[in-house]
Chain A
Amino acid sequence: MNDLHTELKKSIIDQLNLEDMDVSDIENDEPLFGDGLGLDSIDALELIVLLEKDYGIKLEDPNQGKEIFNSINSMVDFIEKNRTK
């Protein structure tokens, strides 16, 4: 697990108020929505804001979200390829 995985998990826990959850509780390949972490549609909007605020990535196509926000691994992969800061 690289630093970006850990950094992203910390940001998600903080930004989405995942109380009582620790970095070690989130698996890299675990689904973020549905049965996995159980995030909802408002959380998805917060993740879009997080991408722009922390990594300078503006999602132009909302349909991309489903693939990007599938797991921590998919988010890290997308951030590494597209980050501007």
Chain B
Amino acid sequence: MNKKYYIKDYVILRQGRLIRNGEVLLEAGNPELKDFLRKIYKSFGMRYPKFFKMDDLSRLGFLAAEILFDQEKPEADTALIFANSSSCLETDKAYSKTMSGFPSPSLFVYTLPNIVLGEISIRHGLRSENLFLVQDRFEPTTMIDYSHSLLNKAKASNVLCGWVDLHNTDYDVFLWQIAASGRLEHNEEELNKIYLPE
């Protein structure tokens, strides 16, 4: 019999709003992405200078994970399963522009979408399974199947899943943690309800 898992906590970053478990923690109007990210960083008193060296995709995932973990240190074997539809296209484009002159090393290191997983792992000391999927749209089935498989096989004690997408100036972030008990079952229907509440 398949064991059931539950959605423990979730965070959404969308249209200048930061939402945690349904509660709006920060509403910034409709600022430029960089200003919105900086506002979150400052508002929550974060002190991690490397944040400012990250590309915007990593900053989005990093901040959402910071808010989600909420000073509660995750287990080192917390697996990370993320996805998006635009890969790291914005950073690829920015790096491509530098190639006609002096290619930027600090941009080059972010020309893979899974770097955000590395940044979160470094920040929280994770030594765990991680996977970054590129999909047409938010479609959590693969993330559900893979996360349950990891938990069932005891390859991870906890799983952080996430959709972290950035295209032009549009960003869309939805991170959630899975638990053995809780109110909302970890399935496609519940995730879609949270992701698209309307």
A30 part of interface (Cβ distance < 8 Å): no
* B53 close to A (CB within 8 Å): yes
| Residue in B49, B51, B101, B105 whose beta carbon sits within 8 Å of that of A46 in the complex | B105
Instruction: Categorize the interface residue count of chain B.
Output: 10 to 19
Is there a chain A Cβ closer than 8 Å to B192's Cβ?
Answer: no
Q: How many A-B residue pairs have CB under 8 A?
A: 28
Contact-residue size bin, chain A (C-beta under 8 Å from the other chain): 10 to 19
Query: In the complex, which residue of chain A has the Cβ closest to the Cβ of B54?
Result: A17
Is B52 touching A42 in the complex (CB atoms < 8 A)?
A: no
B94 adjacent to chain A (CB < 8 Å)? no
28 contacts between A and B (CB under 8 A): A16-B53, A16-B106, A17-B52, A17-B53, A17-B106, A18-B49, A18-B52, A19-B49, A19-B51, A19-B52, A38-B49, A42-B53, A42-B105, A42-B106, A42-B109, A43-B106, A45-B105, A45-B106, A46-B104, A46-B105, A46-B106, A49-B102, A49-B103, A49-B104, A49-B105, A52-B102, A53-B101, A53-B102
Which residues of A approach B to under 8 Å, CB–CB? 16-19, 38, 42-43, 45-46, 49, 52-53
